[in-house]
Chains A and B, each alone.
Chain A
Amino acid sequence: MDIVIGLEVHIQLQTNTKLFCGCSTNYRDSKPNKHTCPICLGLPGSLPKLNQKALEYGIKAGLALDCNIADSMQFHRKNYFYPDLPKGFQISQYDSPLATEGTVELSNGKKIEIRRIHLEEDPGRLEHPAGKKQSYVDYNRSGVPLLEIVTEPDMSSPQEARDFLRKIREIMEYLKIFDGGLEGSLRCDANISIEGGGRAEVKNISSYKGAEKALNYEITRQKNLMRRGKEVKRETRHFNEEQGITKPSREKEEEHDYRYFPEPDLPRVTISKEKIKEIEESLPELPDEKRDRFQKEYGLSQDQAESLTTSLFLADFYEEIACQIDPELTATWVADTLKGELSYRGINLKESNIEKEDLLFILRYLKEDEITEKGAIKVMRSTLDENKKPEKIIEEENLRSISLDEISEIAKRVIKENPEAIEDYRQGKEKAVNYLVGQVMKETNGRADPGETNKLIQKQLEEID
């Protein structure tokens, strides 16, 4: 049975101010209703004025997704009521959007068509505190610029939908117009149908994982209905993230008459060919291009290149170190070791304490055998957990590698102090060697190279024979 999925993705643009007023978009770090003005509160008499930067960001996004940028566009009013919507309409775009006809290539090589991209304003934020008779509204988010990206129904599995969202996130972050790490910065609605059934529109999806979960749930639900010979109705459903299920929405179909008409308070916007060219020339390297280049330039595997380009911050972090020291070694340490340590701690690179110079320092010491691999990991962990500089950690925790002579001296002492181990060794118990190596490691605080120590001990034991 064929599955057909289309997405409407809303991403918040990282401008300083809102789409139509001078209020800060920084609502997450502030108390409710601290970033409002007559315009975004919809006070009578206020009028919108378009943020130049939001328009530019929209054009950037359109170009990065291979769209045609309109030479002239218009805002429309989308009329509906809701307590989070201060004007009783949303300023959005209708039949004259910013960009049309683009494409995004998924990891599996499949091309997803973009139908249109437009700018619109975010509504406020509602809270529904338990035990309260009313809902609570915070208009700090009201008017934050959103970019709505609408795809053709080209995806055929929840995995593809998730991959699409991941791609969009990567591209928008590379353009530096979006921060996917912020809660609620990406939201989407999904249309999903199974061959022979009606289409469900699933609303209220607010994460990548959520999208996959909601769609998987829908597929099961729709298949079950069909199996039981029941009709799959065309309807709007709401996704409940905590429960992982979708529920029919209470809104009736005929209430959706948005009565779009051109926003009379906002004149048409024309976009010149020169402007488009100027922005096109300023576009940064996009994720796919970077991935190819990393493989070619630094000899990385596809997996490594893939892993190192998931965010621009990570890719830049990698590349700046790789330029100064062995790129392959750096790739292993960033893509495997560091990313592992970060995911164990549930944080991302940006949030962590480790700086480029820190990792570069660690890798330099490692390359010059000043510390062991084990020591390097230890330094990395301490940097992450204690926010100390590697140099200091190496010194304080006495992690600098020690010479073979020193190891040899310690090994001698250890063997002497453990006659029963010698006895065991004589009886052929290989474990005894491991035990002695362990003792040396303990004595040297892990600074001794375990392989070398092993060799040394075997040699010395044989000499005792």
Chain B
Amino acid sequence: MNAKEIVNEIKRGEKTAAGFLFECKNKIEKKEEEINAFISLDLERSIEKAKEIDKKIKEGKDVGKLAGLPIAVKDSITTSNFKTTCGSKMLEGYHPPYDSTVVSKIKEEDGIVIGKANCDEFCMGSSTETSYFGSTRNPVDEERVPGGSSGGSAASVKYGANPLALGSDTGGSVRCPASFCGVYGLKPTYGQVSRYGLIAYASSLDQIGPIANSIEGISLLFNVISGSNDMDSTKVEEERGGSQIELSLNDLNIGIPKEFYGEGVDEEVEEKVKENLDQLRDKGAKLKEISIPSMEYALSAYYIVAMSEASSNLARFDGIRYGFKQKMNDNWEKVFSQVRKTGFGEEVRRRIMLGTYALSTGYYEKYYEKALKVRTLLKRDFEKAFKEVDFIITPTMPFRAFEIDEKIEDPLSLYMADILTVPVNMAGLPSLSVPCETNGLPIGLQIIGDSFEEDRIIELARKIKEE
């Protein structure tokens, strides 16, 4: 059953929110120990909330769009008075005094945050192996990674702890785990969802997005979190209608960018995506080969931008106001350096230092500014493409979920895994990963749309899934 159907049943009184929560609790009790999808769980309070919602419904009171739905929230998103660690020792024991905008919106609509999902430390990774709280396992194959950095969110949805989850996506962190775990994951247009309360990795690329086991679930959660907000200066203010879009495949041109296929992409993955493309063509869509020429620089440029911004965003962690505690008996510079050595994991330190380098005097132009020029090129390439086609379809990840420990010792090879997702963040575009392999290890298909066309992307995904 998808999230929309569950809410409707709860609202109609055919199912109780508490009852559904107990079902989820059972699955958590059965699977969580092996999967480790959560850093923290809030089951007691969640059950209380579910009961309150049931009571409201019984009394005939109005309830919100997410009435009684348990939702896992990535631990990079703040929840007031509830532990938020971003997968790092640096934030062990941190209880933020405020809710992120997306969590406020979920609560306003009577959604229930049942726990904080595991993720790569400060969202830096594609496998959820860099989390200080242990790696998450892929529910489809426990020897494999769930993808990252929102690995806990995708895994929790996959094993049934909750029908919906929130992730955050800087270079593919929603879509990658969605692809590896065989669920849906949407990275909205930059500026569509408020980032207020999202612990920043790379400010100009970060975006919060929904993960769900159904298209309906994606649509439902996306509409709730993308409303207006006055705390984020980089968010568009238009309210979303959430209206149903009419889409006729016969009128559609679908772009197949040649740089996203071929070398580096696993043959089976490519085959599977192409199978789906063929079906779309059979249903009337026109396929068109296109080109994103600056693609070859996308990965380098992406990592330079992300690391540079991260080096600055993560400068606030000095051990004074919150987080990891250390004795403060030495002079401040020594204490800060010790706190940051001990509180940050290796990958985080590596990225902070590389970013520091890329912004430093004499290197700013060579790295940061140059990377942002490449970003302009990427944006132009996509703008040009969307003059010719309505959507672009590619594999989400170049391969299926890899084994735990397979890549963690070789940072560069891990970075390469993001090759097909990062161009979308660089261009600020929306994209959705759709599971397209029903047997065995999942494969994800990525639909990229033009800015603010999430509703149309969701509609196309529906068409793909229609038998």
Contacts and interface: CB of A to CB of B under 8 A. Distances in A.
Direct A–B touching, Cβ under 8 Å: yes
Interface of A: 38, 41-50, 77, 79, 81-83, 86-89, 133-135, 137, 139, 257, 259, 261, 264-267
B364 to A, nearest CB: 7
Contacts of A87: 315-316
Q: SS class of chain A's interface: helix, strand, loop or mixed? A: loop
Given A46-B98, A48-B233, A259-B359, 5 more contacts: A88-B314, A88-B317, A264-B203, A265-B200, A265-B233
A49 B230 CA distance: 9
Contact of B320 (A77, A83, A267): A83
Given A41-B321, A89-B312, A46 B203 contact: no
Contacts of B333: 81
Given A45-B77, A81-B318, A266 B364 contact: no
Contacts of B364: 259, 261
Contacts, number: 107
Most buried by B among A38, A41, A134: A38
A265 B201 CA distance: 12
A134 B328 contact: yes
Given A38-B98, A88-B318, A261 B312 contact: yes
Interface string B200-243: 10111000000000000000000000000011111000000000
Interface in B175-215: 195-200, 202-204
Contacts of B96: 38, 43-45
For chain B, give the interface size range.
Answer: 35 or more
B233 A267 contact: yes
12 contacts: A41-B321, A42-B316, A43-B96, A44-B96, A44-B199, A45-B196, A45-B198, A46-B197, A49-B230, A79-B315, A261-B364, A264-B309
B367 to A, nearest CB: 11
Given A133-B329, A259-B359, A261-B308, A45 B200 contact: yes
A276 to B, nearest CB: 22
Nearest to B230: A49
A81 B315 contact: yes
Contacts of B98: 38, 43, 46
B321 A43 contact: yes
Most buried by A among B91, B336, B359: B359
Nearest to B363: A259
Contacts of B231: 47, 49
Most buried by A among B195, B202, B234, B320: B320
A133 B327 CA distance: 11
Given A83-B318, A261-B368, A44 B312 contact: no
A88 B196 contact: no
A158 to B, nearest CB: 33
B361 interface: yes
A375 B327 CA distance: 67
A373 B282 CA distance: 107
Contacts of A259: 311-312, 356, 359-361, 364
B253 interface: no
Contacts of A133: 328-329
